[in-house]
Amino acid sequence: MPALAQKIGSLLFCPDCGTLLDFPREGEVSVKCEQCGHEEPASSYENIEITTRSHPDAFPSALRQKRKTQTKIHEGSEGLLKVSEKCEKCGHMEAYSKEIQMRSADEGSTILYTVSVTILDGLLITDTRMSSAQQKVQQHPVFQQAQTKASYYIQQLDKELSKYPFLVNIEQRTQVPKTYAFIGTVSLVTLFHFINALAAPVSNLVGWALPAYLSFKALETPGHQDDVQWLTYWVVFGFFNFLEGFALRVVLYYFPWYFAFKTAFILWLQLPAFRGAQTTYYNLLKPLLTNVSQQTRSATSHNDTTVTAEGLRDRVATATSE
């Protein structure tokens, strides 16, 4: 029995001289080595699977989200590429692709996808079953418009979140897209506000964690704009805690959604995209403090003038009596 070719991945090498063998053409039963003339049966190319997996650190974070496993399967003389791709129609998570050059040589090739399922005997059958109701819903203009808008807003949110290095670092370590992690965290915090026992600690945690980190960073910067932002923020946040210290029951009685309002307001105050604390200082606190300071100075100046006039009268009276 002649020796069979050596397999390395999807490549076959001649067992006699080690030359790389070509793929068999359609209708050929064997492949002949161009160097030594060894004939390799075409059946050696069947049932070859090559699985390619990317390393966790092989791609930047933006590409890691699109990472997928690809398996190449040779069915006789035809090569199929199995990819982990979700079908938009039936939701199946596996597809087989085939690349065909349907246009001129200077244009790109066309990739055809076939969604298949495996049955007990190992055969592949095309999964074309799909309910007409589901198909009508997916093809409805309102559904497609909503899906397009949702994708757009998710992309915009991902761009905004990419500005924060610690979120990108968390995404690289956990392999969880930062957009979905952010939406999940916001949903969880919102859910906690419906539970009375958790509303207060969650609201205080939101108001303390990120501002504390950014306040420490502000201490290391030479500018004063961030100092205005965070000094004003802690004054307003302290006022909320002062109010809760003696009037929380009254506030909750007339305003049950107080903690939800507080969380939304302090997020507006602290997030760099809004910088509400800085806006509050320049538009509300600074004019008010300036007005109070001017009134205090005016009153002090008036008192000083009155004392001086009285002193002059005393001196005039003393000089007259003398």
In the predicted structure, residue 264 carries a pLDDT above the cut 60: yes
Residue-level pLDDT at 150: 87
Residue-level pLDDT at 120: 37
Q: State the average pLDDT over residues 283-291.
A: 85
**137: which residues sit within 8 A by CB, 6+ positions away?**
143
pLDDT class of 73 with cuts at 50, 70, 90: low
Q: Which of 314, 188, 313 is nearest to 263 (CA)?
A: 188
pTM to 2 decimal places: 0.43
Q: What are all long-range contacts of 279-287, with beta carbons under 8 Å and residues at least 24 apart?
A: 280/232, 280/236, 281/228, 281/229, 281/232, 285/232
Do 104 and 90 touch, CB atoms closer than 8 A? no
Residue-level pLDDT at 117: 52
Largest Cα–Cα distance in the chain?
146
Residue-level pLDDT at 30: 85
Among 129-143, 208-222, 254-268, whose mean pLDDT is lowest? 129-143
Do 135 and 89 touch, CB atoms closer than 8 A? yes
Dihedral sign computed on CA atoms, order 186, 192, 194, 200: negative
Specify the higher pLDDT residue, 279 or 84.
279
Residue-level pLDDT at 128: 43
In the predicted structure, residue 69 carries a pLDDT above the cut 80: no
Q: Mark 115-152 as b/e (b = at least 16 C-beta within 10 Å).
A: bbeeeeeeeeeeeeeeeeeeeeeeeeeeeeeeeeeeee
Helix (H) or strand (E) holding 116: strand 110-118
Per-residue pLDDT reduced to its tens digit, 12-41: 888 888 888 888 887 788 888 888 888 888
What is the DSSP-derived secondary structure letter of residue 17?
A: T
Residue-level pLDDT at 105: 67
Q: Mark 76-108 as b/e (b = at least 16 C-beta within 10 Å).
A: eeebbbbbebeeeebeeebbbeeeeeeeeeeee
Do 82 and 72 touch, CB atoms closer than 8 A? yes
User: How high does pLDDT run on average in the chain?
Assistant: 75
Helix (H) or strand (E) holding 182: helix 178-192
Q: At what angle do helices 132-139 and 141-161 cross, to 10 degrees?
A: 60
In the predicted structure, residue 314 carries a pLDDT above the cut 70: no
Q: State the average pLDDT over residues 285-309.
A: 71
Q: At what angle do helices 141-161 and 178-192 cross, to 10 degrees?
A: 100
